[in-house]
Chains A and B, each alone.
Chain A
Amino acid sequence: MTLFDSPAQVAEALAGVGYLPGPEIATTVFLADALGKPLLIEGPAGVGKTELAKAVAAATGAELIRLQCYEGLDEARALYEWNYKKQLLRIQAAGDRAWDDTHDDIFTDEFLLERPLLAAIRREDPTVLLIDETDKADVEVEGLLLEVLSDFQVTIPELGTITAKRRPFVVLTSNAARELSEALKRRCLYLHLEYPPMERERDIVLSRVPGIEEGLAEQIVKTIGALRGLEVKKAPSIAETIDWARTLLALGLDTLDAQAVKDTLGVVLKHVADQRRAVTELNLG
């Protein structure tokens, strides 16, 4: 059961929920869905990796299940865990009952706490599983993901093997802070997101910031492009472009001159060295 019929339909559906994909994004999302493979998205911070997963969920009416990765994330947080406290209560409440009865009782669904991965596999309705910032997790988690993502099944010793009835659409995102293992990459389709071309970013600004004039949006996007072209430490993200547009709108500015850029530079550049660099390179005076 697939979510999409063609790349064109992907583009249309995503645009419908306010995410404007380029042809490469639309085709890759379509292929990930058609081949039933997880989609690994890499790229600098703030190019819309997580947004893409959210948009796919919103466009198809699927539920979004999110696993945020961090250092020290373990199986119990990612897959499932037994509710020890409830099990203890159950044993204490059992009183004089035979141990064998109680023993069978406490390893049932009632005492199972499902975490994102298991939840995504057990769902029967359309699901988008977002595994966010995979590079932050430890290497062991990658091993776990390999197992879960290649067969879409999980083995719980007390309950047996649980296989997905309906494969979730899986999106992994990474800032490439750590090189993911070859094995994981091999199992995924790969999409490298970069900052969108100027025209597309302008359209994004226009659709996200109501009331902005096209001329101003174009100026903003061009300036952002120039800032990204400098070798800055933290290039402005799409979200920051949008913030900037909102800021300028709130200040009631309708053109972007050197003074306006200089006054509001803090919205887009967040290192002193970067700001200084922008001021000298762009002759902001």
Chain B
Amino acid sequence: MSLLDRHSGFVHALREAGLPVSVAEGLDAVRALGHLDLIDREGLRTAYAATLVKRPTHRPQFDLLFDLWFPAALGAGEGNADRDPAHRSGKPPALDPEVQAMRGELFELLLSGDEEAMRAFARMAVARYGRSPNGQSWFSSGVLRAMSADTLMASLLQAVLSERGGVEEAAARRMFRNRMGAFEQAVGTEVRRRIAEDTGVERTGRATVKPPLEQLDFNRATRTDLAELRRQVHPLARRLASRLAQRNRLGDRGRLDFRRTVRASLATGGVPLTTHFKPKRPHKPELVILCDASDSCQSFAHFTLLLTFALREQFTKVRAFAFIDSTDEITKYFAPGSDVVEAMRRMTREADLVWLTGRSNYGHAFKTFDDKYRDAVTSRTSLLILGDARSNYGPLALPIVRRMAETARHAYWLNPERPRDWDTGDSAASTYGDVIEMHECRNLTQLAEFVELLA
């Protein structure tokens, strides 16, 4: 494949993965390559990243595809011979002297943190242990199991610490964990590269690239995704807040501020060159959130709550209630300055959400809400209900919802399911949807769009 073909194939693959790469940016990349030494692979990566990737959340997709389109080695790579799995000794890894020797090498690498050597090591490890038993494909699990880097932690810590416990151990533990993560990543990259050699780059790329973070489905997020999403909530809230503040300010010329205008005109001999205006008072709604805290909606509720509480200053007052088959107020867990992770933990542990079964029962939940907190919803309130509207075939309490929706200034329902799944099984989406406006909300982008509509 010529360099030009490779370039256009790569750009095409990026677009397919959801990165907005324009024609002009592609040209910039080519121009940048002309100034660099093409032998330097990391330089090449930097040049492509600087010209094509303009959002940090897109970087993982970019790195994955770059490693596929511009692989670090071909075949087994320099100095490594593929080993036929048939020749592998039948011993369990713990007793295999070869495995133990490799683990010794890995130990030294983790200790020194040499990235280049680590990648070479990963290449070798995959060549030896990454082949599936029938020899037709490549897997990282075999390599990771044989190397079982996690079990090296204790001796690694022993090697660098004089005594255990305290700050030093926490810091060292974190460092080694990062390096182990890097090793796992290198193995993953290498496995994908070997697969791509067998089945073609395009297919492998399509099969392995996940959507960018902001389009990631809440319901399908893994644990690492969740931590990353949580980190995104604060920047997102700040972005939203400044945009909302800006919108409030747009056309914010209130009445003429006569005093300031005359004051300013003194400098120009009484000619009022600059006029000053009094700012308008922005309108801030009150917000009441009612969220389904059952397992099926947990991660979705999690982000919506975090985001709205991060946006506290955009609303005069935020009150939040969680329900499963009973309802309780959870506002107190999100007091200013409190820790987000802790808040979510306390909410699930302490709040009184379970009445009988611990399975969602919208009817009873709305009824409890109506009994205990009826005065929370007033004509100044924006009401926000979060949930998948799956009530386990239980009662729906429609009259109560209708009354709440009529009392509130605005009322919306956010549903984390795809519209095509609404009304399937026990979902009462359109029954509720007739009473209260229902929106699909499955990822950060949709959530952000909705919050803008709300404030």
- Tell me the A residues contacting B by CB distance below 8 Å: 7, 23-24, 27-28, 30-32, 34-35, 37, 40, 42-43, 71, 84-85, 88, 135, 138-139, 176-179, 182, 185-186, 188-192, 198, 219, 222-223, 225-226, 229, 231, 233, 256-258, 261, 271-273, 276-277, 281-284
Contacts and interface: CB of A to CB of B under 8 A. Distances in A.
A28 B175 CA distance: 27
Given A191-B50, A222-B171, A231-B340, A283 B246 contact: no
B165 A189 contact: no
B239 interface: yes
A70 B165 CA distance: 46
A198 B230 contact: no
Nearest to B238: A177
B239 A28 contact: no
Given A40-B54, A177-B242, A190-B53, A233 B234 contact: yes
Given A222-B171, A231-B230, A273-B337, A189 B269 contact: no
B167 A223 contact: yes
Interface in B340-355: 340-341
A138 B242 CA distance: 10
Contacts of A225: 171, 174-175
Contact of B59 (A192, A223, A226, A231): A192
B50 A31 contact: yes
Given A31-B32, A178-B243, A186-B54, 7 more contacts: A30-B35, A32-B50, A71-B249, A176-B56, A177-B239, A190-B49, A282-B167
Interface in B141-199: 165-168, 170-172, 174-175
B243 A273 contact: no
Given A24-B46, A231-B341, A282 B170 contact: yes
A71 B267 CA distance: 25
A76 to B, nearest CB: 10
A222 B239 contact: no
Instruction: Identify which of B46, B230, B231, B249 gathers the most chain A CB atoms within 10 Å of its CB.
Output: B46
Interface stretch (B21-29, B326-334, B402-410): B21-29
Nearest to A262: B167
A178 B238 CA distance: 8
A226 B171 contact: yes
Contacts of A42: 56
A37 B269 contact: no
Nearest to B32: A31
Nearest to B169: A283
B170 A138 contact: no
24 contacts: A23-B46, A24-B42, A24-B46, A24-B49, A27-B43, A27-B50, A31-B35, A35-B32, A37-B28, A42-B56, A135-B242, A139-B246, A178-B242, A179-B239, A186-B25, A191-B50, A192-B56, A225-B174, A225-B175, A226-B167, A226-B170, A257-B166, A284-B166, A284-B167
Contact of B338 (A30, A185, A273): A273
Interface in B11-57: 20, 22, 24-25, 28, 31-32, 35-36, 42-43, 46-47, 49-51, 53-54, 56
B271 interface: yes
B111 to A, nearest CB: 14
A27 B36 contact: yes
A232 B50 CA distance: 29
Contacts of B338: 273
Given A222-B172, A258-B167, A273-B337, A138 B246 contact: yes
B424 interface: no
B268 interface: yes
B78 interface: no
Contacts of A219: 168, 171
Contacts of A284: 166-167
A231 B239 contact: no
A28 B50 contact: yes
A142 B54 CA distance: 16
A222 B168 contact: yes
